Amino acid sequence: MPELQRLRDQCLTAFGKYVQEAEKTFGLFGDLGELPVSLDRLLGILEQTQIEGRAQEAYLLLRQQLFELLEGVESPVVTVRARPDQSQKEPCQTVCD
């Protein structure tokens, strides 16, 4: 498969994962009733927003690589540092697999 098609497919997949996670986050906010919110509920929302953030990072990284390929600019080596609560996987491996 040509590089452009492969990267486009990966970008589209990552975008779909990001949208799914954003919808889950929005759903958690929509399910809130009265304030105050329980600590368990608040922790669940925080965890989901972190998952959404990682999905967004994976999408943005792939989108940048796609733009660079389209521009004919060689992509520099990107070092992705895992967050303390994450494994050493790349963002797309964490979110897209």
Residue 20 has pLDDT above 90, yes or no: yes
What span, in angstroms and rounded, lies between the C-alpha atoms of 57 and 27?
Answer: 21
What span, in angstroms and rounded, lies between the C-alpha atoms of 46 and 28?
Answer: 10
Residue 89 has pLDDT above 80, yes or no: no
Please give the model's pTM, rounded to 2 decimal places. 0.69
pLDDT at 80: 54
Q: Which residues contact 65 (CB under 8 A, 6 or more apart)?
A: 7, 11, 75
Is 48 within 8 Å of 28 (Cβ atoms)?
Answer: yes
Q: Count up the domains in the chain and report the number.
A: 1
pLDDT at 59: 97
